[in-house]
A and B are shown apart, each in its own frame.
Chain A
């Protein structure tokens, strides 16, 4: 009686996307419409009352976006997903149902610089706060939590690279605290890491990166595992208590393990409005069809380039967690066996000045503030993505002044090495 299971390569193409019921179109059409006609007044009422799932208005739901949501929910092993306009939007959408004014989240120090600012500064305007902790010290996570802690947040493979979170260990702490673990799985993608299988409650992505894979659109997504009991305590009133905007309906009681996703649509997208547009969903759907193939090549290339850099005398050190010399090599073998991603940093002898010169000297690598593109990218984090941080925060995040970040693409690795070789020569001349 067990339902059939499908392999990742099949799901990345088929999940969510049966032929279009209206036309038979085999590729998912772009439903470029704002609104949808109701059959009659009863149909409209049922949709607005959440008694029926359907299309009302594209701020909430859209057929193209829905295919993408089901695709990612399936690949991550969740029950549902809500797409939104960016990875940063996804982080707010993940916290919004959990947090009330005065609540806090315990967050890893090893995060994308923009996320450190979002959690450290911006969320204070909502009356929320974050405590930053070294997630290799699981006792410190527990010590940082208090009765107002509503979530634990980390990245699987962290940006700017070189660090892998021990998700099963962190998930055990979250379980003990009775709060959900949220994992940003952007850098791993569900091909390299499935946080839900390791105990995470929610997974967020910047779809802008590997999921889309071609640097065309920004997008984000929140996936719910469906495994958290929102009514086990009084910590999560948005999900367990009556919702005034829906005549006193209780989301968890009414929708069971689909409650978080229903809330994300009916409250999150409705009132925060950080909606993904159907064109962007289309580009991301195109990207996901080849996710596993790209991730294999990204990892192969990253391993080759990182090993070459590590052996080069002009380089101080390379942080790639996929290198045998990495302090996280054992963790990679057990938790990330398919690879440590394709983002890492390396330190150039010659410090800040040499880094700036190196970035100016590359030809194939693109100097951009992005990652997870098919093309290889380079950036000096300390003067760009992590510029708003203090030197201490930069070092904690692995983005010190002497460090350059690479996002390795799927080009020929020999060409990437030749480009870095000539740029290092120019930078250290």
Chain B
């Protein structure tokens, strides 16, 4: 899986509201790291996890499922923190409930790969990213990883 800078930059620029499926309330879990980072960068993070029915995260109530996100709320992207074999129902639910509410992208985290779900989402006209982290890609594409000496792949003589 290889995604161009332009493709990933477009997704991270056009998305404002991100449903984070499987996000943890434990502050040292990677999913929590990602949600907190993105919320601090101005994204609205809608936490989705049936394990925490009464919790709030990143200023939003945790929803039990994508279907529980109140009607009328826009969701640009669904970011999936689930095992690869549990991704398909999430993508089906996203297509059923969010396609008419602005959904543009299905994103699967590092280690999460499901070609069947990818094909289903692309057939519905959605962009798909697998086996990547939106936090790391945001840090890479918008200059932050450069501060740590990471290979960003970005060559440019523009200011």
A373 on the interface (CB 8 Å rule)?
Answer: no
Query: Please, which residue of chain A has its CB at the minimum distance from the CB of B40?
Result: A46
Query: Please, which residue of chain B has its CB at the minimum distance from the CB of A246?
Result: B28
A249 on the interface (CB 8 Å rule)?
Answer: yes
How far apart are the CA atoms of A18 and B153 in the complex, in Å? Answer: 12
Q: What residues of B have a CB within 8 angstroms of the CB of A3 in the complex? A: 2-5, 153
The residue from B37, B110, B156 contacting A256, defined by CB atoms under 8 A apart = B110
How far apart are the CA atoms of A6 and B5 in the complex, in Å? Answer: 14
A11 on the interface (CB 8 Å rule)?
Answer: yes
Q: What residues of A have a CB within 8 angstroms of the CB of B111 in the complex? A: 256
- Taking residues whose C-beta sits less than 8 angstroms from the other chain, chain B's interface range is 20 to 34
Q: What residues of A have a CB within 8 angstroms of the CB of B152 in the complex? A: 16, 70
A80 near B2: Cβ-Cβ < 8 Å: no
How far apart are the CA atoms of A46 and B152 in the complex, in Å? Answer: 21
Q: What residues of B have a CB within 8 angstroms of the CB of A356 in the complex? A: none
Q: Which of B130-149 contact A (CB under 8 A)?
A: 133, 136, 139, 143-149
Given A1-B7, A10-B155, A24-B159, check contact A261 B150 (CB 8 Å): yes
A265 near B148: Cβ-Cβ < 8 Å: yes
The residue from A1, A51, A257 contacting B3, defined by CB atoms under 8 A apart = A1
What number of residue pairs across chains A and B have CB atoms under 8 A from each other? 112
> How many residues of chain A are within 8 Å of chain B by beta carbon?
50
Q: What residues of B have a CB within 8 angstroms of the CB of A6 in the complex? A: 155
How far apart are the CA atoms of A258 and B153 in the complex, in Å? Answer: 14
A401 on the interface (CB 8 Å rule)?
Answer: no
How far apart are the CA atoms of A66 and B151 in the complex, in Å? Answer: 10
A53 on the interface (CB 8 Å rule)?
Answer: yes
B148 near A66: Cβ-Cβ < 8 Å: yes
B158 on the interface (CB 8 Å rule)?
Answer: yes
Given A51-B37, A247-B28, check contact A63 B4 (CB 8 Å): no
Q: What residues of B have a CB within 8 angstroms of the CB of A4 in the complex? A: 4, 155
Given A79-B151, A258-B150, check contact A53 B144 (CB 8 Å): yes
A69 on the interface (CB 8 Å rule)?
Answer: yes
Residues of B that sit less than 8 Å from A by CB: 2-5, 7, 27-28, 30, 33, 36-37, 40, 110-111, 133, 136, 139, 143-159
Please, could you name 16 A-B residue pairs with CB atoms under 8 Å apart, sorted by A?
A: A1-B7, A3-B4, A14-B156, A19-B158, A21-B143, A26-B157, A51-B36, A51-B37, A52-B40, A52-B144, A66-B146, A69-B149, A78-B151, A80-B149, A83-B149, A258-B136
With A10-B155, A18-B156, A265-B149 already in contact, 18 other A-B pairs whose C-beta atoms are closer than 8 Å: A1-B2, A3-B3, A3-B5, A4-B4, A16-B146, A18-B146, A18-B154, A19-B158, A21-B143, A52-B40, A53-B139, A53-B144, A54-B144, A55-B147, A70-B152, A78-B151, A254-B28, A258-B145
Residues of A that sit less than 8 Å from B by CB: 1-4, 6, 10-11, 14-16, 18-19, 21, 24, 26, 46, 51-55, 61, 63, 65-66, 68-70, 73-74, 78-83, 242, 246-249, 253-258, 261-262, 265
